Amino acid sequence: MLSKSAAERVLYAIGCPFVRTFYRVSAVGLDNLPDGGFLLVPNHISWVDALVLQLACPRPIRYVIDQEYYHKPVLHPILRALGCIPINIRHSHAAVRAAAEKVGEGEIVCVFPEGQLERRGVLLRLQRGYELIARHSKAQVVPVWLDQLWGSIFSFQGGRFFTKFPKRFPYHVTVAFGKPLTAEDADSATVREELLKLGEFCFSRRPSLDRHLAEECVRGLKRRSFATAVIDGIDHSELSRAKLLGAAAALSRHLRKEFADERIAIVLPASKGSMLANLAVTMANKVPVDLNFTIGRAANESCCKRANLRVAISATPFIERIKDFPWPETILKLDELLPRMKRQIVFWWIMSLLLPARLLLCLLQIPKQGGHAEAVLLFTSGTTGEPKGVVVSHRNVVGNVSQFRALLDAKKTDAILASLPFFHTFGSTVTLWYPLIEGVRIVTYPNPLDAAHCSALIERYKLTFLLLTPTFLRLYLRKAEPEHLRSLRLIITGAEKLPLDLAGHFEKRFQKKVFEGYGLTETAPVVSVNLPDPEPKRPGEHVQPSSRLGSVGRLAPGIAAEIREPETNRKLSLYEAGMLWLRGPNIFEGYLHDPKRTAEVLSDSWLKTGDIGRFDEDGFLYIEGRLSRFSKIGGEMVPHEAIEQKIIDLLQFSGRDERPLAIVGVQDEAKGEALVLLSAVDIDLADLRKKLQEAGVPNLWIPKQVHRVEAIPVLASGKLDLKKCNEVAAEG
């Protein structure tokens, strides 16, 4: 092990105290560092990564650096004194040999494998240069993760370097060193997987994730108190952030005083009242349970019984609209209750303006920690059976909001259309809790199917974010005009697969790209999302891609992934197709009163998603389909969604507003399963069979029967109702 040179000691004596003035660096995993020479491969977030990494490492590091920077007159003397190794990307052999020699001499050599600074705060493609050095020197490779540098003035957060104010001072950073890999094992897929796991480890250690959800909301609403929080899209009334906080505080005190119940049901569509009710229940340290009033009486009776719901919050006009609903014994009607609380609301509104956040939190008796305690109870949409109660903790919601914040990087002028119901996980986190915490203005509207009214609201209030499902997006093609959507700068779909033809038609009509994301109720829900590519500063300039057609985007910060064999759970490469497993602070706590189902999907804090997926080398995730949407025929896994898309393309059904067909697997004595095509249009099976064969579709993929139906069963969220589809196919 070599000691520092005199020049190095001088530079470190000057540089380290300077960097420590601005950064507090915590090193984790130092015992993983080998004694001799080895290769370090970190993520690359900011201009000061090398300095921070050196602060965390007890030994000097030799950095492989682009020769363009190495030879800059101001930097060259310092970089040469520090023993940096210049590299020419096009002619890298000399640098590879020099790096291998340094490793052979017992030194630490660091290569930033992404080759450039991240522009979105997520891991880019890993260049293969580090593999050449590792194999040439037979060196061990140590992955290392630098956490919390995204957002510093030296990162590209906000779309610029340097020209922004520091968010914290001093800036706390974690550097986590992983276990060493042999040169043979350190391929790009394995190193990417290990870096993601280190990123998840660091993200999950952030103290802010243990805050109570109500505390996050109060602190969020205290910022810009006079700004508009919510506009009701029906009567166009507005609530400022301070008034919303005052009304929620008054209602929370009433709930805390009058009811000892752990959970309180909320039966309202997306609205100002629903937002207020959810916030008040959380501030009362109770669990809001937004019930899906569209799934029928029996399913809601099951939900109420499972969650022991005895109190519900609603409003008289809405109660009169849903006649056949199993109301619990006590119903609080906001339209009757809030007018009687006017004095308390005014009092807490004034308090919210005058008191600092810490004192207000004490007066409202909001706990200092939420952690793994239940914060929100969501019931799954029941696509494959009876709704399951998904226990979402404070840590899950706070963590996922933090992840979504980093991805979206919203501005103060941004505004969201909140038309998705809050009983849907997408609506709950993205259009309820995220705006409350982040200070993003929302406009609520209770019916996402009314695309004409929704598009008018987008135009009237100059909304910038549209977050919805592909089923609802299809309605905009028929009912909206291009000028209605001109203000939108980001359109994201989730909850179901985005058909490429729909995205193409939408972009052609509105000149707006549609970006697909991916999530589950069990992941609170955001896992990954495609985003617009950065604007090039100069014509012809290469920019880092932030989206890829057919993918669901890159993983959100703080999420680790594995690909495993569906039947044996044997680990596969990230670049192979298999069962997607995820780990992160947003992974739910389990199913309510259902340990058996919980054990089926949770293992050592890893979530078995039920989705077949793979990653490409740039880190984009591709979802091939749900395991429940595959049939095993003759020993082969046959994907339903791929067959559906092939039939839609061949029969030219892509322009329809409603879902035209669905593939269902039914039991078959000969081959285990057989494919049945449910169709809402007339299809000649013989003609379809001929077209599929001519298109080169395998015989196993061709449906044996066509069953004509009036409409393909879908849920209120727009997702395919698999349970109903299976029943219809069985009857047919």
Q: What is the pLDDT of residue 340?
A: 95
Residue 149 tokens read as 């540098």
Q: Tens digit of pLDDT for each residue in 495-513?
A: 888 888 889 999 999 999 9
The CATH 3.30.300.30 portion of the chain extends over: 634-731
- Look at residue 300 and tell me whether its pLDDT is greater than 60: yes
Residue 193 bridge partners (DSSP): none
Mean pLDDT computed over 405-422: 91
- Look at residue 94 and tell me whether its pLDDT is greater than 90: no
Q: Tens digit of pLDDT for each residue in 236-248?
A: 999 999 999 999 9
Burial class (CB in 10 A: 0-12, 13-18, 19+), 191: buried
Homologous superfamily (CATH) of 634-731 is ANL, C-terminal domain (3.30.300.30)
- What is the Cα–Cα distance from 616 to 391, expressed in whole angstroms? 32
Q: Tens digit of pLDDT for each residue in 558-606?
A: 999 999 998 899 999 999 999 999 999 999 999 999 999 999 999 999 9
The CATH 3.40.50.12780 portion of the chain extends over: 213-532+548-614
Q: How far is CA 423 from the centre of its chain?
A: 18
Does the domain formed by 213-532+548-614 have CATH 2.130.10.10?
no
- Look at residue 519 and tell me whether its pLDDT is greater than 80: yes
From residue 26, how far is each of 44, 51, 172, 202 by CA, in Å? Answer: 17, 13, 8, 11
Residue 605, SS3 per DSSP: coil
Q: What is the pLDDT of residue 673?
A: 80
Residue 223 tokens read as 């910022």
- Look at residue 134 and tell me whether its pLDDT is greater than 60: yes
Write down the pTM of the prediction: 0.88
Summary mean pLDDT of the chain: 89
Q: Taking CA 415 as the corner, what is the angle to CA 407 and CA 619, rounded to the nearest 5 degrees?
A: 15
Closest CA to 443 of 392, 480, 506, 488: 488
DSSP notation for 289-341? EE--TTS-HHHHHHHHHHHT--EEEE-HHHHHH--S----SEEEEHHHHHHHT
Q: Tens digit of pLDDT for each residue in 253-284?
A: 999 999 999 999 999 999 999 999 999 999 99
